[in-house]
Amino acid sequence: MSSPLPRRWWALAVLAGAQFMVIMDTSIIGVALPEMQRDLGFSPGGLQWVFNAYVVALGGLLLLGGRLSDLFGARRVFAAGWVVLIAGSVIAAAATGAGTEIAGRAVQGVGSALIAPSSMTLLMVLFGGQPKELPKAMAFYGAAAPAGGTAGVFLGGVITEWLSWPWVFVIYVPIGLLTLAVVPALLPAVPGRRSGLDLAGAAAVTGGLALAVYAIVQAPEKGWTAASTLLELAGAVLLLVAFVGVQRALRSPLMPLRVWRTPNLAAANLAMTLLGAAWIPMWYFLNLYLQQVLGYGAFSSGAALVPMTALMMVLMVGVTGRLIGRFGTKPLIATGLAVLAGGLGILSAISPSGDFLTDVLPGSLVSAVGMSLVFIPAMMAAVGGVAPEEAGLASGIVNTTYQVGSAIGLAAMTAIATSQGAGRLGDLPALTDGFQAAFIGAALVALVGAAVAGLTLRTPKATSAEVSAPREAEVRSSR
């Protein structure tokens, strides 16, 4: 086992902070949307694209971001991602019209698509050769995601109330500049593998994923059987089929298809897809129940989610790593998805006259236990078995599947909830019926995930640390 890199825990703080900011960017704008609509002239249908533009760019470009990280070096791509994110934040903050705002949000998504996979590559370089420290490092990194989601709700409410909506974007500028300032001192210089970039493959997969996510998030409004929805989905399938064909034909493809022969890569990505499809709808509809049925304000709704988030962070940081060391990743993933399904089942018992202590807290805490058991083990299973030079690619794949699963799950559960009454604002029984249907649907998705994980995941013969140690030695020798 190689000696650890110095300053690795400070470097981990930078990487976890980046993950925190990437996830926070999806939630911080929620409270500010009404003011943005008034000031920028958004139509009711167009307002959703303040959120969707970011998600489409992020989901469509994560795979490309992971490959760029492998080709040009993770530290370079990480820094470039922050430059792009800062630029997008400036555009979004300075926008005076709807089109400019959407463009700024899309640029922010591009930056985040570069930051997320390069962060995972850097984490594996820092801790891959330290099997005792890797689970703890993954726990800190994984806990940053739920913390960022909840912090976004809080900060969005505080900033919108005491300042103005542009400040939800301005705050990324000083944080980004500070991050760029410490990158050379704290993060290792990972050498890239210079080879062909595969522009055709990049265009096909980015276009296919972006078009698929676009069609999915629009489907609840347009209709799943609408001609435009079907054409968009068909176009996405054709582009993705073309992408596979290009990967087979090229000598230096964007995504070497052999990577899918890595043990557990496909199974772990399927688990992450189903996790996103169950977890994000839970978080979304629990927020709506708190605000639209129980009458909570945006800030109070965020506060109501603090116990769930705090429990996840405590378990991820203090417990999950130990459980991985004792039981491995497969039992935790399958068990965690089953526990998440149980929490969603408890939440499906909400009532129009409910309250926080009986209708929200128990189910949210059980769901938090399930999430804390799945997220980090699934990430480790997806990334840990690949060749070191393809860690960024594997990270891009697993981040992409989680984002796409989230989009599909939220769109599907929104359609189910709306069909059961979730669109009838002011009618508390109808709203509750719709939210109950969404929780039940998400619980079924989690149960399917538990069964699939139990059947498809295998116990690896080598740990991620063992396969990552050569890469770390290479990095150390290059410094």
Torsions phi, psi for 111 (to 5 deg):
-60, -45
Q: Quick one: pLDDT at residue 162?
A: 79
Q: Quick one: pLDDT at residue 462?
A: 43
Written as one letter, the residue type at 32 is A
Q: Which domains, from first to last, does the chain contain?
A: 8-197+254-478 (1.20.1250.20)
In eight-state DSSP terms, residue 46 is G
pLDDT in tens, the chain (479 residues): 455 667 888 888 999 888 888 878 777 776 676 678 788 887 755 666 787 788 778 877 877 887 788 788 889 999 999 999 999 999 999 998 888 999 999 999 999 989 988 888 888 788 866 677 777 787 778 777 767 776 777 777 777 767 888 998 999 999 999 999 999 988 888 776 666 667 788 788 878 877 887 787 777 778 888 999 999 999 999 998 998 888 888 777 777 777 788 888 889 999 999 998 999 888 878 878 887 889 887 677 777 888 888 888 888 877 887 888 888 889 999 999 999 999 999 999 999 998 999 999 999 999 999 999 998 898 888 877 776 666 667 777 887 788 778 877 877 888 788 888 887 878 899 999 999 999 999 999 999 999 999 999 887 554 443 334 434 434 443 44
- C-alpha 109/C-alpha 62 separation (Å) is 9
Radius of gyration of the chain (CA): 21
- C-alpha 67/C-alpha 326 separation (Å) is 33
Rounded to the nearest 10 degrees, the angle between the axes of helix 265-288 and helix 361-383 is 160
Q: Quick one: pLDDT at residue 31?
A: 66
Q: State CA 137 to chain mean position distance.
A: 18
Torsion-angle region of 73 (φ positive above 0: left; ψ -120 to 50: alpha; else: beta): left
Q: Quick one: pLDDT at residue 388?
A: 64
Q: Quick one: pLDDT at residue 30?
A: 66
- C-alpha 312/C-alpha 211 separation (Å) is 33
Q: Hey, how many other C-beta atoms are within 10 angstroms of the C-beta on 238?
A: 14
Distances (CA, A) of 74 to 117, 137, 362: 8, 18, 41
Can you read off the two tokens belonging to residue 416? Answer: 């189910």
Closest Cα partner for 402 from 276, 292, 218, 304? 276
Distances (CA, A) of 298 to 106, 227, 287, 356, 367: 25, 37, 9, 15, 21
In eight-state DSSP terms, residue 260 is G
Calculate ∠ Cα 290-295-298, nearest 5°. Answer: 65
